Amino acid sequence: MSRRPPSQPPRNGRPPGNGTEAAPGGAQQAREMPPGWLPEDHLFVDDIKKSFGPTKVLHGITMHLRRTETAVIIGGSGAGKTTLLRLLIGLERPSSGHIWVDGVDMGALDDYEMNRMRQRFGMVFQYAALLDSLTIFDNVAFPLREHRKHMSKKDVRDKVVGMLNSLGLENKEDRMPSELSGGQRKRVGLARALMLEPEILIYDEPTSGLDPLTSRMVDDLIEETRARYKVTSVVISHDMASTFRIAHQAFLVIQGRVVASGTPDELASGDNEQARQFIAAAGVAPDHISRVNRPALADSGKGDGGQVIEFRKAAE
């Protein structure tokens, strides 16, 4: 297969989305959506199954992930969450079923198209996954140097420093990862994930291994980022307390199947026995968990009533 010639990316780094596609003359025309697609969907996981040889890992998972909301995929070890994550970002292909992003079937994309599609996703890794030999600046600039080669050094620096400042990491660009706290490294990982201005942010176990205070800070950071940048957030987690704090919707995955879905409160008060058992085993009392402050989305990163959403300075 011949490689396609590179093209100048759009200014925000995103191909057409939101159920539209480019038409001649720059107009937008509606894309025909797949059966089962709902108007508020950003991602539609449609009956996907995944096997590795004779081992079946995922058994017909269906999810509607709504635009600019936070969806938490919750489950214990061995539930299939990591496999599902790899499918969502195109690192694996499902054995059957489809994953639709704005009506585009990821399974039908060739390698070039899949690479473009992945740029619509940002990935925040479990332990930040920073490169220890690089400064904070070089870690955050890495996606721009790989995918925005047309940018000048000044533009790259301005974008990186501006993002670090917006996340409360002023004057940290020349430090090494080992000089930062765990919470600060999480923010650097988020800054790197935001460099290509993704529509969708995927967080892999963001509170794993953190103390309760830092976990709460990470929860607040996820919500602040969603509200400020108007992204769709997908959180892979086993942390039930975090789920109650940040999720608009939650999907409980057990042995490769979604056994319950809804708001966290619906899972806690519903009649699904597996959901109630999972919550009870986590030792979570929903009535005693504070929820994140959730301002309504609005233009220019403002919340309800015109209050600008500000990121708190990262603690040393």
H or E element in which residue 74 lies: strand 70-74
Q: Residue 307's pLDDT is what?
A: 33
Nearest to 93 by CA among 126, 51, 64, 128: 51
Q: Residue 296's pLDDT is what?
A: 47
Q: What is the pTM of this model?
A: 0.79
Nearest to 140 by CA among 157, 152, 154, 127: 157
CA–CA distance, 218 with 207 (Å, rounded to integer): 7
Q: Residue 31's pLDDT is what?
A: 62
Q: Residue 295's pLDDT is what?
A: 54
Q: Residue 259's pLDDT is what?
A: 94
Q: Residue 34's pLDDT is what?
A: 81
Give Cα 271 to chain centroid, integer Å. Answer: 29
Per-residue exposure over 7-23, b if at least 16 CB sit within 10 Å of its own CB, e if not: eebeeebbbebebeeee
CA–CA distance, 123 with 137 (Å, rounded to integer): 18
Per-residue tens of pLDDT for the chain, all 316 residues: 444 444 434 334 444 444 444 433 343 445 677 888 898 999 999 999 999 999 999 999 999 999 999 999 999 888 999 999 999 999 999 999 999 999 899 999 999 999 999 989 999 887 778 888 999 999 999 999 988 889 999 999 999 999 999 888 999 999 999 999 888 888 899 899 999 999 999 999 988 877 888 888 889 989 999 998 899 999 999 889 899 999 999 999 999 999 999 999 898 888 888 988 888 888 877 776 767 666 544 443 333 333 333 444 444 5
